[in-house]
Amino acid sequence: MKLQPYIKERAVFLSMNIFLFVLVALFLWLINVQAVVMIIVFVCWFGPLLLSYGLEFLKRKNFYDELLQNFEALDQKYLLPEIIEEPNFLEGQILYDIMKTTDKQMHEHVKKYKDMQAEYRDYIEAWVHEVKTPIASSKLMFENHKNEVTKGIMEELEKIEGYVEQALYYARSSSASKDYIVKEFSLQACISKVLKKNAKAFIHKKIQLQLTEMDEVVYSDEKWIEFILHQIIVNSINYCDNKISLYTRKNEHSLTLHIVDDGIGIDEKDIGRVFDKGFTGENGRQYRRSTGMGLYICKLLADKLHLGVTIQSTKGEGTEVQIIFPKSKVVLLES
């Protein structure tokens, strides 16, 4: 808080006092009052006035300077009402009361929307579990009555099942601490489950799989990693030519899983947006219908698990996805 704006705000009142004093001094001069008396009147008039202004300025300056410093220092600006102290002057107390009331109402609104979000999430989870049952039953019936028609329906059911899985994991991604279980597991075993799940697609498209032996263990949530791998491998299957390779590279503090295909690749102008929500890009529009949610959810979950996910691609030559696992057992989860 600066002195100049403070004085400028009170300029009218000060000017009126000066004007009145000049009138009084003129009157005293006309009735031959001594100059020393006029000086005493001046001191008695303006002394208390300027002193009160000085004390008032110091109180406001201390409060507003501290308020601004705290505001600048906070990463989350909305926490300001939580840390300010109640001032001892009227305007500051009014501002303090307003900020406290606003803060209280904000917390009530946040709680309301959190409750709504939790309720919606619970509903989605319940719905997903309910809809999985008829899907599984239908797949079982079609398995027992195989023919060209049921084969096609089975493929469509598997797509539906995949989208239902996406919805479930997306709903769960908003509350990491409730759903993540970080533990040690074999990366090879996890990859094998995903490959087995997509075995029909590999066979149907006659894709050559190159899988190197992996003896590494990683620390993360196995189910979530399985989902991420499934989304990436399905993308590779959809867009590859005839070969997909999986291998690992050990780094000083991490382990990187490489998933490489020899497919159509990603256009340079799209590569920076492949993890954006709903982004389908040229490939998604040209070759098949895409929701643009698969890679977005993968990145969302990977961030929650503190994993790195990157994509490198050359159009017409192929795409490489890298998943980077930390070697440490200490993995912090977002609350």
pLDDT digits (tens, 9 = 90+) for 220-250: 889 999 999 999 999 899 888 889 999 999 8
Q: How many domains are contained in the chain?
A: 3
112 shares a domain with 30: no
For all residues of the chain together, what is the average pLDDT?
A: 87
User: Could you say which of 173, 195, 212 is where a domain stops?
Assistant: 173
Residue 330 pLDDT: 56
Q: What is the pTM of this model?
A: 0.68
In angstroms, the CA 333 to CA 325 distance is: 14
Evaluate if residue 39 carries a pLDDT over 60: yes
2 to 55, 62, 64: CA distances (angstroms): 14, 11, 10
159 shares a domain with 124: yes
Q: How many residues are given for the chain?
A: 335
Mean pLDDT of 195-204: 89
Q: Which two tokens stand for residue 91?
A: 């305007």
Mean pLDDT of 5-25: 91
Residue 249 lies in a domain: yes
Contact (CB, 8 A) for 257 and 315 = no
Q: Which two tokens stand for residue 124?
A: 């989605």
89 shares a domain with 133: no
Residue 231 pLDDT: 92
User: Could you say which of 173, 193, 208 is where a domain stops?
Assistant: 173
- Domain span holding position 147: 108-173
228 shares a domain with 168: no
pLDDT in tens, 243-283: 999 999 988 888 999 999 998 888 888 888 889 988 877 66
Residue 15 pLDDT: 93
- How many other CB atoms are there within 10 angstroms of residue 222's CB atom? 18
316 shares a domain with 201: yes
Closest to 209 in 3D by CA, of 239, 247, 235: 247
Name residues whose C-beta falls within 8 Å of residue 111's C-beta, 6 or more positions apart in sequence.
none
- How many other CB atoms are there within 10 angstroms of residue 136's CB atom? 12
- Residue 87 DSSP one-character state: P
